Chains A and B, each alone.
Chain A
């Protein structure tokens, strides 16, 4: 069988809904697209732990401190699980981490921004984890079986995180006027990064991840589901969305958002390319931890294999 015939047979399997296992033959384009996507996902999990980690010492109660600590641990755990999945596609964990802290690979746009108040923790927990869950649930249908298994576990934990975030948000919106104002202010500051969360609308026919079934839904499809789920909930608790152009169009059956101050794709690209407001600080922190803990990795790797 020629390479092209093998690729065609592989594509037919994906189109028929079959899942691909790690050890199976796969076209170079599939391997490379899956690796890049899963590596970026893993990077985002470990970098995503940092904005919330900053608030563990400042959590208002012991209960909140415990739950936030557990959530941060979960996010780092997701990173570990996803790096393991990515490793089987041909890149070592050490190389992936080195590429991350050196700025050669990307992580999600929302984790390049500062967290300024406890209201930000509620926004991350409810709206950003909510946005992530929309994406991650869609990945349960991915064509790459090890990724699907990882997503099953991650989605279960993200559902817990969503509840945690919703609980935090509800505490603020039903609290004192200052607490409501704190949450509203956080929503206003985070709205643009949230609108950027799924990336710019793209042509599904040219999306290589959709072609190979690694991703199953387009950016805009996911954003529409997010808006449908969360904007009405915000409105119901009296929290406004700062984009004046955002509205539900009954006739079109979709959310309309214009080219306003609240969607700026230049800012999105600047941010994910490593020029966000907190990019260098967070990468520096991650690199310091990587260097400080080198002895743990060395000890770990130094155990004689005969012990296995």
Chain B
């Protein structure tokens, strides 16, 4: 078994950068694992592996249309949940109108001061 660095390009104009690693017995398996573990959600347009200690970069064959699947797998990505923030606001307003929201002192917003109990 060998250690392989996984490289990826987020957009066509980017250079390959190391995004992680996998352990695999050969290059084909390393590319398959890299694709499944690092590019399943359409995280980039190209992927590659490089055996640890080598200079040679081996490119994956899936192009950016194929990475992440060609069928509708939006449930794996943020875009499937677009509008959830707005839904929370609508439901909060509705609960307030119905007198169900809990009225208690709360911070305005943002991170609070670190505290040690």
Which residues from A are CB-within-8-Å of B38? 81, 153
Interface centre among B21, B36, B107 (most CB of A within 10 A): B107
Looking at A153, A217, A248, A255, the one whose CB has the most chain B CB atoms below 10 A away is: A153
B residues neighboring A (CB under 8 Å): 1-3, 18-27, 29, 36-38, 40-41, 43, 51, 73, 75-78, 80-81, 84, 87-88, 91-92, 94-96, 98, 100-107, 110-117
Interface segment among A46-54, A95-103, A275-283, A297-305: the answer is: A297-305
B25 touches A150 (CB 8 A): no
Q: Which residues of A contact B22 (CB under 8 A)?
A: 84
Pairs of residues from A and B, 7 with the lowest C-beta to C-beta distance, nearest first: A238-B100, A163-B81, A235-B102, A221-B114, A236-B92, A303-B25, A254-B115
- Residues of B with C-beta under 8 A to A240: 102
Partner of B91 from the list A203, A237, A252, A253 (CB cut-off 8 Å) is A237
Given A149-B20, A163-B81, A225-B112, does the pair A307, B25 have CB atoms closer than 8 Å?
yes
Give bound CA distance, A229 to B40, whole Å. Answer: 29
Check A233–B25 contact: CB distance below 8 A: no
Of A81, A159, A231, A254, which contacts B20 at CB under 8 A?
A81
A9 beta carbon closer than 8 Å to chain B? no
| The stretch of A27-35, A37-45, A110-118, A166-174 that contacts the partner chain | A166-174
Q: B19 contacts A149, CB within 8 Å?
A: yes
**Cα-based distance from A301 to B112 in the complex (angstroms):** 50
With A84-B22, A220-B114, A250-B105 known as contacts, the answer to whether A236 contacts B75 (CB < 8 A) is no
Chain A at the B interface: SS class: helix
CA distance A237 to B51 in the complex (A): 51
Inter-subunit contact B115/A224 (CB<8 Å): yes
Chain B residue with Cβ nearest A246: B104
Q: From A11-19, A63-71, A285-293, give the one contacting chain B.
A: A63-71
Q: Which residues of A contact B43 (CB under 8 A)?
A: 153, 156
| Contact pick for B113, options A170, A253, A301, CB 8 Å | A253
Q: Are A70 and B75 in contact (CB under 8 A)?
A: yes
Instruction: Indicate if the CB atoms of B2 and A308 lie closer than 8 Å.
Output: yes
A242 at the interface (CB under 8 A from B): no
Q: A93-B23, A149-B20, A156-B43 in contact; A248/B106 too (CB < 8 A)?
A: yes
Told that A159-B78, A305-B2, A305-B25 touch, could you supply 16 new A-B pairs with CB distance under 8 A? Answer: A77-B37, A87-B23, A88-B3, A156-B41, A163-B84, A167-B81, A170-B88, A235-B106, A236-B96, A238-B101, A247-B105, A248-B105, A253-B112, A305-B26, A308-B25, A308-B27
* CA distance in complex: A203, B117 (Å): 9
Q: Is the CB of B104 within 8 A of A236?
A: no
Within 8 A of B (CB), among A217-233: 217-218, 220-221, 224-225, 228, 231-233
Distance between Cα atoms of A85 and B37 in the complex (Å): 14
A238 to B95, CA, bound (A): 6
Beyond A160-B41, A247-B104, whether A224 also contacts B84 by CB under 8 A is no
A92 to B38, CA, bound (A): 21
* A66-B106 in contact (CB<8A): no
Within 8 A of B (CB), among A239-272: 239-240, 247-248, 250, 252-255, 257
Contact B81 A160 (CB under 8 A): yes
